[in-house]
Amino acid sequence: MADQISIESVIFSNNVVEPGELLTCNITVKNTGSTILTNLKYAYYTVNGGNPIQLTFPSYLTPGSTTSKSFVLDTQNTGTITVCAYSNFP
């Protein structure tokens, strides 16, 4: 099996927030390949279809292991916030 990484989960601290509140998002990735992955810079997220933001994880991830990264979104605007997480492994 080649080197692979997958998005396992995207979890928010709250499902409903008021404008101006901070919202924590936690993204978990998994090494689904058979080799140790290094320099994990293959996961991204976008907010409301904006520019991709790269997530940098710990320096290595062994096969079958998962790791998570959290970030905070500022909900200044009203309405729905759409977060899309994806991997782009070369």
Closest CA to 27 of 51, 54, 60: 54
| pLDDT score for 42 | 66
Longest dimension (CA), the chain: 45
pTM for the structure as a whole: 0.78
Which tens digits make up the pLDDT trace of 1-12?
Answer: 566 888 899 898
Place of tokens 């899309």: 84
Is it the case that residue 21 has pLDDT exceeding 70? yes
- Contact predicate 32/2, CB 8 Å: no
Question: Distance between CA 84 and CA 90 in Å, rounded?
Answer: 19
